[in-house]
Chains A and B, each alone.
Chain A
Amino acid sequence: MNHFFKLLNFEINRFIKIYASLLAIVIIIQTIGVAVVSNSFVNRANEMMMENRWTQEEFIKSNGKMSFSEFMNSFWFAGPIAIAATALIFYIFLIWYREWYGKNTFIYRLLMLPASRYSIYFAKALAIFLMVLGLVGVQILVLPLENELFKVIVPNALREVLAVKDLIYTNAITMVLIPSTFTQFLLHYSAGLMAVFTLFTAILMERSYRFKGIIFGVLYCAAVLALFSAPLFIAAMLDMGNMLYPMEFLMVEIVLGFIASVCSILIGHQLLTKKVSV
């Protein structure tokens, strides 16, 4: 266990500079975005009121008030999150491949450590998971501050005030990233972890069987996807849209996700112990 935490700490430290840059990108772009979107609205409002000799009430009647959700539905909000998400997906591959293809072959040392190979596997998986949580955490912290900036720029009369909580649960991205209930949190993030384990197994298949491993990896990912979406397909094929109650459907998906994750972990460990080659 001690080795696992040391490896986890080591994995996080190796990516910390790039990760900090990612967080900075999210914060800076979103902050600029709030300023740009809010100023653009205020400028447009002023221009229209001047051109049409409107009062604020007349402008609001014609155009409505601005809500912070307008910013949250813009590229300024979603763009940096997409950049960070893409970087983390890329990192799922990089976290393994850099050990073989970096300037130095660190996989020699990793595999020779007097630590269980599970520790290596889980340290990498948990490092990615913690980075995702960190990113979401920063987003939760930054959102109220961005909302405050929005309030500073847009005059009281022209803005619609919404609580941050309401803003989160009316936006498609934040609804996924910041689930409203603990059950949803478990579901969303377990599905994410399952995807990470599946990709790890596909990567280790490639590292073990090289060219053939790419085919095995793709087939394995397809099999997991098929397994996970089987209840939906079966219901559609049999034209039994209401075959299962939502709660039953959820339970089936949880069980299938659990099976897929355990399979991925066991296969991944087996490959890392018996098949992977330096």
Chain B
Amino acid sequence: MIEVKNLTKKFGRRRVLENVSFTAEKGQITCLIGINGVGKTTTLKAIMGLTPYKSGTILIDNEPISKQVYEKITFIPDAAIMPPSMTIGEALVFMQDFYSNWNNERALELLKFFNLKEEFRIAELSKGNTAKVNLLMGLAIDVDYILMDEPFSGIDIFSREQIANVFTSHLIEDRGVIITTHEINDIEHLIDKVILLDNGSVLKEFYTEEMRSQEGKSVIDVMREVYRA
């Protein structure tokens, strides 16, 4: 389980996260939702140790982040993160070299799934293909948790469908996923848990199934209620 407890972060004098607490379980898809600038990406980066924070605790299966924990969790950011001079094939070799839990079989399967070729150069990829390569690099590591930052951002509807299909495939299996997205329609039916953020704080936290069955509301209904209030 990923546990975030009282996470607080400041950029200069501005408080970006204030006492953010939530948990994300293995085998569930947890979605961090909020308008731009509420601290969704910062939360993911803090979990991965990519940005310092003022106070709070982050535990992954009861352990703080360390090089050993990086074998348990992966982050798929909304940016190209492999050197542009590399081809996809070279990037796969790089990952295989460094990750003992790299699953090359799955990497090749994803390559086929996304219609990518090993000889494609990273620098020449479109936004959609960059997102797919990021996803491939993250999903081909045998980790327990995957953090995804805006995987649908700025890409065409067909690529979005392809990426959404990943969530229903065996590629996710029983891993824990924390995802941030504005394109909630694409994955609303897949989400188990929602954390609504506003001004760096958790406004509401709920399980989608419970919300649907007990209050008859979709994620978008709740968002309208919370953010328009």
Residues in chain A within 8 A of chain B (CB atoms) = 3, 6, 10, 14, 102-106, 108-109, 111-116, 208, 273-278
Given contacts A275-B52, A278-B45, 6 further A-B contacts (CB under 8 A): A102-B84, A108-B77, A111-B49, A114-B98, A115-B67, A115-B98
Q: Say how far B52's CB is from chain A's closest CB, in angstroms.
A: 5
Are A10 and B79 closer than 8 Å at their CB atoms? no
Instruction: Specify which of A108, A113, A273, A274 lies most central, judged by the most chain B CB atoms within 10 Å of its CB.
Output: A108
Q: Within the complex, which residue of B49, B50, B82, B97 is in contact with A6, where a contact is CB–CB below 8 Å? A: B97
Are B82 and A109 closer than 8 Å at their CB atoms? yes
- B181 touches A (CB below 8 Å): no
Nearest A residue to B48 via CB reads A112
Are A111 and B83 closer than 8 Å at their CB atoms? no
Q: Within the complex, which residue of B77, B83, B99, B122 is in contact with A114, where a contact is CB–CB below 8 Å? A: B99
- B94 touches A (CB below 8 Å): yes
A277 in contact with B50 given A6-B98, A108-B75, A114-B67 (CB within 8 Å): yes
Are A113 and B98 closer than 8 Å at their CB atoms? yes
- Interfacial chain A residues near B137, Cβ < 8 Å: 109
Question: Can you identify 10 A-B contacts, CB atoms within 8 angstroms?
Answer: A14-B85, A104-B81, A105-B79, A106-B82, A108-B79, A109-B82, A109-B137, A112-B74, A275-B52, A277-B51
Instruction: Specify which of A14, A114, A208 lies most central, judged by the most chain B CB atoms within 10 Å of its CB.
Output: A114
Are A106 and B81 closer than 8 Å at their CB atoms? yes
Are A114 and B71 closer than 8 Å at their CB atoms? yes
CA distance A102 to B134 in the complex (A): 17
Are B50 and A104 closer than 8 Å at their CB atoms? no
Nearest A residue to B69 via CB reads A114
Q: Say how far B198's CB is from chain A's closest CB, in angstroms.
A: 23
Nearest A residue to B68 via CB reads A114
- Interfacial chain A residues near B157, Cβ < 8 Å: none
A116 in contact with B52 given A6-B98, A104-B80 (CB within 8 Å): no
Q: Say how far A23's CB is from chain B's closest CB, in angstroms.
A: 20
Q: Say how far B15's CB is from chain A's closest CB, in angstroms.
A: 16
CA distance A101 to B54 in the complex (A): 26
Instruction: Specify which of B80, B82, B98 lies most central, judged by the most chain A CB atoms within 10 Å of its CB.
Output: B98
- Interfacial chain A residues near B77, Cβ < 8 Å: 105, 108
Are B84 and A104 closer than 8 Å at their CB atoms? yes
Q: Which 5 A-B pairs have the closest CB atoms?
A: A104-B80, A108-B81, A114-B70, A103-B84, A278-B50
Are A3 and B98 closer than 8 Å at their CB atoms? yes
Are B70 and A112 closer than 8 Å at their CB atoms? yes
- Interfacial chain B residues near A116, Cβ < 8 Å: 67
- Interfacial chain A residues near B71, Cβ < 8 Å: 114
CA distance A88 to B19 in the complex (A): 45
- Interfacial chain A residues near B70, Cβ < 8 Å: 112-114
CA distance A115 to B70 in the complex (A): 9
Q: Say how far A118's CB is from chain B's closest CB, in angstroms.
A: 10
Are B83 and A106 closer than 8 Å at their CB atoms? yes
Interface residues contributed by chain B, number (CB under 8 Å): 28
- Interfacial chain A residues near B85, Cβ < 8 Å: 14
- B35 touches A (CB below 8 Å): no
Nearest A residue to B80 via CB reads A104
Are A112 and B52 closer than 8 Å at their CB atoms? no
CA distance A116 to B85 in the complex (A): 25
Are B50 and A108 closer than 8 Å at their CB atoms? yes
Give B89-125 as 1s and 0s: 1 = Cβ < 8 Å from A's Cβ atoms: 0000010011110000000000000000000001100
- Interfacial chain B residues near A109, Cβ < 8 Å: 81-82, 137
- Interfacial chain A residues near B81, Cβ < 8 Å: 104-106, 108-109
Nearest B residue to A9 via CB reads B97
Q: Say how far B178's CB is from chain A's closest CB, in angstroms.
A: 15
Are A103 and B123 closer than 8 Å at their CB atoms? yes
CA distance A277 to B45 in the complex (A): 9
- Interfacial chain B residues near A3, Cβ < 8 Å: 98
Q: Say how far B205's CB is from chain A's closest CB, in angstroms.
A: 27
Instruction: Specify which of A14, A113, A275 lies most central, judged by the most chain B CB atoms within 10 Å of its CB.
Output: A113
CA distance A116 to B70 in the complex (A): 11
Q: Say how far B10's CB is from chain A's closest CB, in angstroms.
A: 12
Are B98 and A104 closer than 8 Å at their CB atoms? no
Are B122 and A104 closer than 8 Å at their CB atoms? yes
CA distance A102 to B52 in the complex (A): 22
Nearest A residue to B76 via CB reads A108
Are A274 and B45 closer than 8 Å at their CB atoms? no
Instruction: Specify which of A106, A116, A275 lies most central, judged by the most chain B CB atoms within 10 Å of its CB.
Output: A106
Are B52 and A274 closer than 8 Å at their CB atoms? yes
CA distance A105 to B84 in the complex (A): 9
Are B51 and A278 closer than 8 Å at their CB atoms? yes
CA distance A273 to B50 in the complex (A): 9
- Interfacial chain A residues near B79, Cβ < 8 Å: 104-105, 108
